[in-house]
Amino acid sequence: MIDRRILLASVASLLGLAAFRWLRASPAQAAEKFEIEKTDAEWRAQLTPQQYEILRKQGTERPGSSPLLKEHRKGIFACAGCDLPLFSSDTKYESGTGWPSFYQPLENAVGTTQDRAYGMVRTEVHCRRCGGHLGHVFDDGPKPTGLRYCMDGFALVFHPATPSAT
């Protein structure tokens, strides 16, 4: 006969394993195919260690550490992995979070997936072309969208607008 303690311990272990699998983040790269796909070695060779950790391993930067936080010139913020234009400077705003924030991406620039890391459910934002993790989107942003795309600055590169010829 099975000892009650062994049975309870076994059930608790199985539930713990199931909960751990549910709480883990599910990277966008595993869920879908992207136009640009590279090996892990190719990404490591192309990106800085910090960019690799954010874009390919769903990491994040310390709040306030990105130089793009204070970028206020006109231009385009693009993916640091594949240079796809993602956000216009016209949609950037100061959210007070310590990360560059935008209220709207460019059309057909980003994708989203459910992120269950850290015991909560969030909406992860990734580059639609290479699948690089960019940050998360929240519903506490300004008008007109009410959204806050809270992006890791090291996942982005900035391309200033060219001055118009006058």
The whole-angstrom separation of Cα 106 and Cα 104 is: 7
Spatial contact of 132 and 155, defined as CB atoms under 8 Å apart: yes
- The type of residue at 66 is S
Peptide bond into 144 cis (omega under 30): yes
Residue 19, Cβ neighbours under 10 Å: how many? Answer: 11
> Residue 113: what are its φ and ψ, rounded to 5°?
-140, 160
Whether 79 sits among the annotated catalytic residues: the reply is no
Our CA angle for 3, 5, 10, nearest 5°, is 100
Spatial contact of 138 and 148, defined as CB atoms under 8 Å apart: yes
> What is 61-99 written as a DSSP string?
PPTT--GGGG--SSEEEEETTT--EEEEGGGEE--SSSS
Catalytic residue among 82, 127, 130, 150: 150
Give catalytic residue positions: 150
